[in-house]
Amino acid sequence: MRILVTGAAGFLGSHLVERLLAEGHEVIGMDNFITGSEQNLAHLAGNPRFSFIRHDVANFIFVPKKVDAVMHFASPASPNPNSPYGYTNLPIQTMKAGALGTHNTLGVARAHNARFLLASTSEIYGDPLEHPQKETYWGHVDPIGVRSVYDEAKRFAEALTMAYHRYHGIDTRIVRIFNTYGPRMRLDDGRVVPNFIQQALRKEPLTVYGDGSQTRSFCYVSDLIEGIYRLLLSDEHDPVNIGNPNEISILEFAETINRLTGNPAGIEFKPDLRLGDDPQRRQPDITRAKTILKWSPQVSLEEGIAATIPYFRSQMEQV
């Protein structure tokens, strides 16, 4: 296939582009580098099946020649208010990527009669009252909270995608992505994986806010991309959760990072400074992915972190 991938220079987008090329497809990458990095695509320079367009998806998108699929991954995604790349510091751009960007990419899919895959998020569930979260759960979201620029943009994107599917007959798919980690995450991303690994490599105590009892589930990037690729090739139109259902507390996660890096500095507890509507628990129910896609994560947390540490070490040495 000839596939347009927006957000191609991002953490997930670049891994997706790499996988699509490995499968023999032709890929057109698109990014405006607000949060993506040219370095993530540098190794693809000269690949005859890869081309790149620097463009903001909030503006009208023109793609020369026929495309067979459109995969919309463009959006800031970090919730950290201390990161310049966090969506609370890029609120308008985040909402435009989710609203106008989805409208424009759906327009490309419609013009080319192409299949469409939306990268949605577990954040559409908000601070969930259901645990674990099934795709049938409608969510518990503050529509005007500080996180709403991301949460509501993705909820709107899902609604628009389904409207195009029902009204225009577009062949759509929606993946709800849960916490994912791996090489090519930004050093200054501000989320817990890069924060903890960098602190550990500097032999500093890992900063845990509150008592560390809040939970997350961490999926290694190669597992996530496998699930997304299977969804692209499937005939499923309703949303599908892709993530690792193995729930772990932030405190347990910090202890794992210290052990794998040999960091003797331990853990430092600080007052809870997280955003007010930050979810306390996050765990996907992946029954649909197992049933429909025959997919489940294969990489253990320890294996994934061990594969991620060298990347952060090399990036820190370059700074």
**Distance between CA atoms of residues 289 and 98, nearest Å:** 24
User: What secondary structure does DSSP assign to the chain, as a single string?
Assistant: -EEEEETTTSHHHHHHHHHHHHTT-EEEEEE--SS--GGGTGGGTT-TTEEEEE--TTS----SS--SEEEE--S--B--TTSTTBTTTSHHHHHHHHTHHHHHHHHHHHHHT-EEEEEEEGGGGBS-SSSSBPTT---B--TTSTTHHHHHHHHHHHHHHHHHHHHH---EEEEEE--EE-TT--TT--SHHHHHHHHHHTT-PEEEETTS--EEE-EEHHHHHHHHHHHHHS---S-EEES---EEEHHHHHHHHHHHHT-TT-EEEE---S-TT--S---B--HHIIIII-----S-HHHHHHHHHHHHHHHHHH-
Catalytic residue (choose from 150, 164, 181, 220): 150
Crossing angle (nearest 10°) for helices 11-22 and 221-233: 60
Let me know if 87 is a catalytic residue. no
* Closest alpha carbon to 311 in 152, 198, 161: 198
State the burial class of residue 255 (Cβ atoms within 10 Å of its Cβ: 0-12, 13-18, 19+).
Answer: middle
Return the active site residues. 150
